[in-house]
Amino acid sequence: MTAYIIRRLLATIPVMVVVALFVFLLLHLTPGDPAAVIAGDDASPAEIDGIRRKLGLDRPIWEQFGIYVGNLLRGDLGTSIFSNLPVLTLVKQRLEPTLVLAVSTLVVAVAFAVPMGVLAAWKARSLIDRVVMGFSVLGFALPVFLIGYLLIYVFAIELRWLPVQGYRPLSQGLGGTARSIALPALALGMVYMALIARITRASMLEVLSEDYIRTARAKGVATGSVLLRHALKNAAVPIVTVIGIGLTLLISGVVLTETVFNIPGLGRLTVDAILKRDYPIIQGLIILFAGAKVLVNLMIDISYTFLDPRIRY
Amino acid sequence: MTATIEAATATAGSRRFEWARHNPTIVIGSTILLCLVVLAAIAPWIAEDPLGFDPLNRLKRPSAEFPFGTDQFGRDVYSRVVYGARISLIVGVSVAVIATTIGLLIGMLCGYYRKVDAVVMRMMDGLMAIPAILLAIALITLMQASLTIVIIAISIPEIPRVVRLVRSVVLQVRGLPYIEAAIASGTRSHTIMARHILPNTVAPLIVQATYVCASAILLEAGLSFLGAGTPPEIPSWGNILSTGRSFFQISPWIIFFPGLMLAITVLAINLVGDGLRDSLDPRIARRL
């Protein structure tokens, strides 16, 4: 087990090296002078020269990559061109809203989708099943910005139950945060719910046709217990996999959701950096998001060995 | 037995009807798509100039004159949405074609030549670790934004997924006796790949292409919505959504109509994809 975890940990190294190389090369693969690209269209030659020296673009390319990786390993994601602040500092300032949004979305989605999937599988081919399946097809097609604006329109503008946009930090009380994050989490969670409900249903259907389920029913185990203790537990591996896959999909959704709801998180940081062409921030965020994705995949792989003791590597 | 005889004697028309009855999702999905293609094709005849400014008619509610209302420059949202269908369809189809073609080539090489595999798959893993939207944003910001750049930038994050799919099919087929027989009888590598392995990848690739198409349309809209996609002077659905952002509370129609079209389009493509998957690969159909 420990050997497997270590092997799996080591396997993430080449992936992150490729990510770092790619992010590094992004600037150099562009046609023209990267310093001029960063400086924008109306920069003077002196400004361009300043940026070139600041980013170390005047050195040999292999040396630049060495310095870049060295900095990354020391936790230095670079420095913003405009604010002159380290990217890591900016990230720390914006981390809370994004984490709160991601965790709430995860909780909301799993809390709705797993019962939906279980119910659909239990009552297979019934009306409930059709409704759940219909929702799971529709959920994939609805873009997060459409759902987001629809939710704002209904719950914030028409009914006035919740704030229209913005984010209240945790330090100002949990209630305010919950109210400000409810609609974004629901909007972002929709695709995710569709995905989890679909897989939960499929996985449960397969398990429910097993002999031991029939045996459990025959010996008089209560339906709830059969569904949860016997079936759901054994159907868990694909469900956890898809929750993990969804978590990585969520990262792209976060950028869009934060824009719709005006949440000052990492997504807004990304968009603002794009508009200002603040390249070190974009590079730093790509490394960070890719790292998060790799970490999630690692945790999913390790969780298998706990969920299904038969899985041994 | 009777079923076989019936099927054999049935006319082509009723057989086609039978097929449609068994694949309702493909029929519904492709009908919607066909409508969209027609809409996009006849745009100049059914819509006004999508770029025409009209300062007197700013932020007008949907009415007989402006079915979907107007935006803050007085541009007709209906005309813009109709023209936007062109952009979304072009992006979806181009990305699907580019990503599956390149993915097929790389995937075949990886599955067949083990040495290529080790290096290329590490690269694909790295590429897949980067969220598609960020990768596309980074590529677009560095280049001069144009529709071609947007299509390329959206294609790149889609490629690794196609590569993985093709590679897994090739690895599966490679071990089968008929490939061994072909190698033993001295068939050349490229003939084996083209004649004996390639046909096996077609069915899963077609299904994958529909999903790539849907996700590309969503990604283009998302990028343009963020202001990092198709140049703002092109009326794409994402750009219409983006202009509607700041006026959402007073003129929600600027967001709703293109958003709705986007959802319908993606739904139609997904329906076709799901239907194709079920009819081309009965094994998956039983599981889902």
Distance from CA of B24 to the nearest CA of A (A): 14
SS3 B175: coil
Instruction: Check residue B89 and give its pLDDT.
Output: 93
Instruction: Check residue A312 and give its pLDDT.
Output: 60
Cβ contacts (< 8 Å) between B226 and chain A: which residues?
A: 255-256, 259, 271, 274
Q: Which long-range contacts (CB under 8 A, 24 or more apart) does B48-51 make?
A: B48/B76, B48/B79, B49/B79, B50/B75, B50/B76, B50/B79, B50/B80, B50/B82, B50/B83, B50/B84, B50/B235, B51/B75, B51/B233, B51/B235
* CB-CB under 8 Å, A259 with B126: no
Q: Is B222 on the interface with A (CB under 8 A)?
A: yes
pTM of the prediction? 0.86
Cβ contacts (< 8 Å) between A145 and chain B: which residues?
A: 221-222, 225, 241, 255, 259
Residue B264 predicted with pLDDT over 90: yes
Q: How far is CA A99 from the centre of its chain?
A: 10
Query: In this structure, what DSSP letter does residue B130 have?
Result: S
Residue A198 predicted with pLDDT over 50: yes
Point out the residue among B248, B264, B267 whose CB comes nearest to the CB of A149: B248
Average pLDDT estimate for B136-159: 88
* CB-CB under 8 Å, B135 with A141: no
Q: How many residues does chain A have?
A: 313
Please tell me which residue, B100 or A181, carries the higher pLDDT value.
B100
CA distances to A67, A72, B80, B277 from A57, rounded to whole Å, are 11, 17, 43, 49
Instruction: Check residue A31 and give its pLDDT.
Output: 64
* CB-CB under 8 Å, B139 with A18: no
Q: Which residues contact residue B85 at a Cβ distance below 8 angstroms, ignoring those fewer than 6 apart?
A: B36, B39, B40, B43, B237, B261, B265
Residue B282 predicted with pLDDT over 60: no
* CB-CB under 8 Å, A26 with B138: yes
Q: How many helices (H) and strands (E) does chain B have?
A: 14, 0
Instruction: Check residue B179 and give its pLDDT.
Output: 87
Cβ contacts (< 8 Å) between B36 and chain A: which residues?
A: none
Distance from CA of A11 to the nearest CA of B (A): 10
Q: Is B256 on the interface with A (CB under 8 A)?
A: yes
Q: Is B280 on the interface with A (CB under 8 A)?
A: no
Identify the closest residue of chain A to B122 by CA–CA distance: A15
Q: Is B226 on the interface with A (CB under 8 A)?
A: yes
Q: Using one digit for the tens of pLDDT, what is the confidence trace for B210-241?
A: 999 999 999 999 999 888 888 888 888 988 88
Q: Are B44 and B28 in contact (CB under 8 A)?
A: no
Please tell me which residue, A232 or A308, carries the higher pLDDT value.
A232
Instruction: Check residue B12 and give its pLDDT.
Output: 58
As a whole number of angstroms, the distance between CA B76 and CA A64 comes to 51
Q: Are B157 and B130 in contact (CB under 8 A)?
A: yes
Point out the residue among B129, B252, B256 whose CB comes nearest to the CB of A293: B129
Identify the closest residue of chain B to A40 by CA–CA distance: B142
Looking at every residue in chain A, the average pLDDT score rounds to: 84
Residue A74 predicted with pLDDT over 90: no
Q: Using one digit for the tens of pLDDT, what is the confidence trace for A249-267?
A: 787 788 899 988 989 999 8
* CB-CB under 8 Å, B123 with A18: yes
Opening angle at CA B100, ends B94 and B106, nearest 5:
135
Average pLDDT estimate for A148-169: 84
Q: How confident is the model at residue B193 (pLDDT cuts 50, 70, 90)?
A: confident
Furthest-apart CA atoms within chain A: distance in Å: 84
As a whole number of angstroms, the distance between CA A27 and CA A176 comes to 41
Instruction: Check residue A62 and give its pLDDT.
Output: 82
* CB-CB under 8 Å, A259 with B225: yes
The highest-confidence range among A7-16, A42-51, A173-182, by mean pLDDT, is A7-16
Residue B2 predicted with pLDDT over 50: no
Q: Using one digit for the tens of pLDDT, what is the confidence trace for B54-98?
A: 777 776 777 777 777 777 777 877 888 888 899 999 999 999 999
* CB-CB under 8 Å, A18 with B125: yes
* CB-CB under 8 Å, A143 with B218: yes
Point out the residue among B141, B267, B271 whose CB comes nearest to the CB of A282: B141
Q: Are A213 and A233 in contact (CB under 8 A)?
A: no
* CB-CB under 8 Å, B252 with A143: no
Q: How many residues does chain B have?
A: 288
* CB-CB under 8 Å, A138 with B267: yes
Radius of gyration of chain A (CA): 24
Residue A35 predicted with pLDDT over 60: yes
Point out the residue among B126, B218, B255 whose CB comes nearest to the CB of A19: B126
Please tell me which residue, A25 or B35, carries the higher pLDDT value.
B35
Instruction: Check residue B33 and give its pLDDT.
Output: 93
Instruction: Check residue B216 and give its pLDDT.
Output: 94
Backbone φ, ψ for residue B41 (5° rounding):
-70, -40
In the block, tokens 């673009």 appear at A57
